[in-house]
Amino acid sequence: MRYLLLIASEPPATPPSDADWAAMLEQYNEFGAWAGEKGWVLGGEALEDVSTATTVSIRDGQRIVTDGPFAETKEHLGGYYVIDVPSLDDAIETAFRIPGASIGRIEIRPIKEFG
């Protein structure tokens, strides 16, 4: 079953130090190696800061473009993985292993299969 794992956290009050950034990247590399060995990751990316977001909608036939994210929230979407695993339990195990789980939340969403 395919799942989308959304990585969300509150932005830190101050940017991480170079050492903290390097340590976090190493944790993500370790996660990537583990998930790669399993063959479960179909894709994933880190996202630019929420300040770069653009939201579009159509209301009463009018196209609306606004700066910023759709939802007003303290937590920001920082990245995602698309995985294909045998069960929800495997998706949960994978989410727990994402380093962002230790500072934020990982939302697990089943991908709807059409056809």
DSSP secondary structure letter of residue 73: -
Supply the range of the domain harboring residue 105: 2-110
**So what's the pLDDT on residue 67?**
84
- Residue closest to 95 by CA, chosen among 50, 24, 23, 34: 34
Measured CA to CA, the distance from residue 6 to residue 80 in angstroms comes to: 5
Q: Alpha helices, DSSP H only, in 7-107?
A: 18-38, 88-97
Three-state SS at 52: helix
What average pLDDT does range 7-34 have in this prediction? Answer: 91
**So what's the pLDDT on residue 14?**
85
Model pTM score? 0.85
Residue 29 lies in a domain: yes
What average pLDDT does range 77-100 have in this prediction? Answer: 96
3-state helix vs strand vs coil in the chain, percent to 5: 35, 35, 30
**So what's the pLDDT on residue 19?**
94
Residue 69 lies in a domain: yes
Residue 105 lies in a domain: yes
Q: Is the pLDDT of residue 110 over 80?
A: yes
Residue 115 lies in a domain: no
Confidence band, pLDDT 50/70/90 cuts, at residue 50: confident
Residue 74 lies in a domain: yes
**CATH number of the domain bearing residue 48:** 3.30.70.1060
Q: How many domains does the chain have?
A: 1
